Amino acid sequence: MTTANRFWTLTIIILVAIIAAGSLVAWSKYSPNQPVEIFIPRSQEWQGKIYIEGAVTAPGLYSLKEGDSLSNLIQAAGGTTGSANLSGLKLYIPETGEVQPQKVDINRAETWLLEALPGIGEILAQRIVDYRQQHGPFGSTRDLLKVAGIGTATYERIKDLISVSD
């Protein structure tokens, strides 16, 4: 046998020995009876306040705690009105430190407050108040489109700044 053949034979024997030793070590550490542990991170505790508005009897700020369901929260707000569309619910969670603008309740605001809305001047503000006095409270913010002089463009500009209550 030549020196080159001896070298390759020895190399192959060493490699087979290393693989066999590694397999034995791995097999000795394997225990089929040891249970697999799965760690699920603990969820955040839900507590604080939630603002509920729209087609509910009593819009406002309500306590929110862990375990509250959507149904419980709606009931806390007095339940839904007849015009409620439950297929269009929206939930917004602000980031820490984010300030939400105060919304103008178009069923209660006086003309001076309505004038603060973009695109609503003295005349439109008075029309909103007059419409409200003649037809009763607005059922939804979209009802504002029934007021003469308020079109889709104006509504789109202020829709996130207004709310309705009974």
pLDDT tens track for 21-45: 888 887 777 666 666 666 666 666 6
CA angle 74, 80, 82 (to 5 degrees): 170
| Dihedral of alpha carbons 103, 105, 111, 112, sign | negative
The whole model's pTM is what?
A: 0.46
Q: What burial letters (b/e) apply to 17-37, b meaning 16+ CB within 10 Å?
A: eeeeeeeeeeeeeeeeeeeee
List, for residues 45-94, the tens digit of each pLDDT value: 667 777 777 788 777 777 788 778 888 888 888 888 888 887 777 777 77
Domain range list for the chain: 47-83, 104-163
Q: How far is CA 154 from the centre of its chain?
A: 27
The fold for domain 104-163 equals DNA polymerase; domain 1 (1.10.150)
